[in-house]
Amino acid sequence: DAGVIQSPRHEVTEMGQEVTLRCKPISGHNSLFWYRQTMMRGLELLIYFNNNVPIDDSGMPEDRFSAKMPNASFSTLKIQPSEPRDSAVYFCASSFQAGYNSPLHFGNGTRLTVT
Amino acid sequence: LAKTTQPISMDSYEGQEVNITCSHNNIATNDYITWYQQFPSQGPRFIIQGYKTKVTNEVASLFIPADRKSSTLSLPRVSLSDTAVYYCLVGDPWTNAGKSTFGDGTTLTVKP
């Protein structure tokens, strides 16, 4: 089991540029979550999917953020345009099912720096 | 969602047992308690989950009193590699698992 795979591990970009973060969940897991972690705000849930369908995106900070899950093995989080305050570590997590006491399995994150 | 309160930091020494307590006074009937561990530059890792009484696995034990308003994560005989941030989460896995909120966590430092 390769675990949750995120890419890239590090991303440095300039303000105004588009940023796309990628995630491959664990095979067989049907729930996927995007989190953001900063020193000031800790770990924040941005959005989660069940069976590729977005269930709750209330944590997405603003319209500049969007997430998609075109199939069970791939998801993207896009920021357009990026701003310095978006600098953070972005984690993707998956679980067997949102519910049924299924724990979250996290990737190692993408560290985003917007200058 | 139940709010959790944990100590910001704890220090221990190798070989000692460490107990980290989490307060969740407004825990709901259907809420489960889950603990995660996070090392620097890594995502959180599931440690243990429980609903009531005591749960034990190969890594830790989780003690939950009858009123469920708090829980204690117990790490037996810690080593330097147990230095990490530990998060307590409370939520109903059936309806809002995706909204499980990570608090500030407890930074555990194990000293030689």
Q: Which CATH number belongs to the domain containing residue B86 in this structure?
A: 2.60.40.10
Cβ pairs bridging A and B (under 8 Å):
59
Nearest chain B CA: its distance from A109 CA (Å): 6
- Tell me if B97 and A109 make a contact (CB, 8 A cut-off): no
Q: Tell me whether residue B86 is in a domain.
A: yes
Q: Which amino acid is present at A104?
A: L
Predicted confidence at residue B30, as pLDDT, reads: 82
Contacts 24+ apart (CB under 8 A), B45-54: B45/A106, B46/A103, B46/A104, B46/A105, B47/B73, B47/B86, B48/B73, B49/A101, B49/A103
Domain membership of residue B3 (yes or no) is: no
DSSP A10-72: EEEE-TT--EEEEEEPPTT--EEEEEEEETTTEEEEEEEEETTEEEE-TT--STTEEEEEEET
| pLDDT computed for residue A77 by the predictor | 98
Cross-chain CB nearest to B94 (options A42, A93, A99):
A99
Domain membership of residue B2 (yes or no) is: no
Name the residue with higher pLDDT: B97 or A114.
A114
Q: Look up the domain containing B81 and give its range.
A: 9-111
Would you say residue B71 lies in a domain?
A: yes
B46 inside 8 A of chain A by CB: yes
Structure confidence at residue B97 (pLDDT) = 47
CB < 8 Å to B45, chain A: 106
User: What does the pLDDT read at residue B71?
Assistant: 96
Our count of domains for chain B comes to 1
pLDDT band at B104 (very low <50, low <70, confident <90, very high): confident
Task: Tell me the nearest-neighbour CA distance from B45 into chain A, angstroms.
Answer: 7
Residue A88: per-residue pLDDT: 97
Classify residue B95: in a domain, yes or no: yes
Residues of chain A with pLDDT under 70: 1, 98-101
- Max mean pLDDT range (B2-6, B13-17, B29-33): B13-17
On whether any CB of chain A is under 8 Å from the CB of B40, the answer is no
Residue with tokens 């609903």: B51
In a domain, B1, yes or no: no
pLDDT computed for residue B92 by the predictor: 67
